[in-house]
Amino acid sequence: MGRVAAREDVALAVLYDRFSSSVLGLAYKMLSDRAAAEEVLQETFWKAWQKAGQYQAERGSVQSWLFAIAHNACIDELRRRRLEHTLIDEQQVERNRPEAPDLDVQVAWGIERRQVREALQDLPSEQRQVIELAFFGGLTRQEIAAKVGIPLGTVHTRARLGLQKLKQALSVRGVKHEGN
């Protein structure tokens, strides 16, 4: 990341080669739209290039940092879509379905999805609900509190506990994070 911060093009290319398929997978999972996922991918690496000097290894892996950038970009996209209030009928959605990614990417996503799904199922339902609404639904904690009808502090607690348990469950399942 130091080399990326120093504006070395080769370092950015290595970073992209190493993490682009994972970032694209996250964006595609959240947005269910290949074109939008590719836009998020580009935005993520552009921001990584611009903000590489802000990366702090002690706060997490490079992959986690990139995922946070991509996740925030996806949330922005989901909110933008919600604001448009555009209704699309099911036939139009089917006609515009994105192309399937390459087989090796599909296999990797399938394994990761299965591991995450299993780990999510191990969480208490209240914690799982908060995490799913936040991460996959793109809701803020305030929106979750209103939707579920619980205090904001309870949302914070459930999210924190759920994420701790999820991290532990994924590490037990052998999911490797960069830097581990």
Mean pLDDT of all residues in the chain? 81
Considering only 22-26, 71-75, 84-88, which range has the smallest mean pLDDT?
84-88
Instruction: Encode pLDDT of 30-60 as tens digits.
Output: 999 999 999 999 999 999 999 999 988 888 8
What is the distance between the alpha carbons of residues 33 and 25, in angstroms, rounded to a whole number? 11
Most confident segment among 107-111, 112-116, 119-123, 159-163: 159-163
What is the pLDDT confidence band of residue 112, given thresholds at 50, 70 and 90?
low
CATH number among 3.40.50.880, 1.10.10.10, 1.10.620.20, 3.40.50.2300, domain 102-180: 1.10.10.10
Can you give the pLDDT at residue 98? 57
Its pTM stands at 0.52
Q: What angle do CA 21, 112, 61 make, to 5 degrees?
A: 65
Name the residue ranges covered by the structural domains of the chain: 1-98, 102-180
Instruction: Encode pLDDT of 64-75 as tens digits.
Output: 999 999 999 999
Measured distance between the N- and C-terminal CA atoms of the chain, rounded to whole angstroms? 17
Can you give the pLDDT at residue 139? 82
Q: What is the CATH number of domain 1-98?
A: 1.10.1740.10
Query: In the block, which residue shows the tokens 């929106």?
Result: 143
What is the distance between the alpha carbons of residues 91 and 68, in angstroms, rounded to a whole number? 33
What is the pLDDT confidence band of residue 159, given thresholds at 50, 70 and 90?
confident
25-38 burial string, b = 16+ CB within 10 Å, else e?
A: bbbbbbbebbebbe
Can you give the pLDDT at residue 117? 76
Radius of gyration over every alpha carbon of the chain, rounded to an integer in angstroms: 17
Is residue 139 within 8 A of residue 147, CB to CB? The reply is yes
**Tokens (6 digits) for 40:** 């998020």
For 73, phi and psi rounded to 5 degrees? -65, -40
What is the pLDDT confidence band of residue 180, given thresholds at 50, 70 and 90?
very low
